[in-house]
Amino acid sequence: MIRLEQHIDPRGSLSVVESGMTVDFAIERVYYMHGQAASSPPRGLHGHRTLEQLVIAVHGGFSITLDDGFRRATYRLDEPGAGLYIGPMVWRVLKDFAPDSVALVLASRHYEESDYYRDYDTFLRDARSLT
């Protein structure tokens, strides 16, 4: 979890992410997920071969479970002043979205379907063969 630089004054708050400072990677793509209902199915359910990402709950909140093939950890993102870094070879599941949540994702590469693991067993086999 990365604490973001924030500038808070009587006008409100301003949060900053900079390549080479907040995150080591160069940000090449930005996308955001919104419109989830409490009853929506989980999102994510994939891993990436090379992609690096920073995920921020810019509004609302949601849970992310990360799995590197050996360990699992669940994080609750519910404040715009923090981001969760997700490196390569990590399976992620996003769920338990609060109403009107917006999940902002800053990514190190353009969208490439070939970078995805969509099948958990294939991901697990490759992740466990890394050590």
Among 111, 119, 122, 125, binds ligand TYD (CB under 6 A): 111
16, 31, 40, 128: residue in contact with ligand TYD (rule CB under 6 A)? 31
Among 4, 25, 28, 44, binds ligand TYD (CB under 6 A): 44
Residue labelled with tokens 């992620």: 92
Task: Report the residue number, 94 or 127, with the smaller CB distance to ligand TYD.
Answer: 94
Distance CA 71, CA 51 (A): 19
Pairing of strands 82-86, 53-59: antiparallel
Q: Does 43 bind ligand TYD (CB under 6 A)?
A: yes
φ, ψ for residue 39 (rounded to 5)? -90, 0
Terminal Cα-to-Cα distance of the chain (whole angstroms)? 24
Contact residues for ligand TYD, defined by CB under 6 A = 29, 31, 33, 43-44, 111
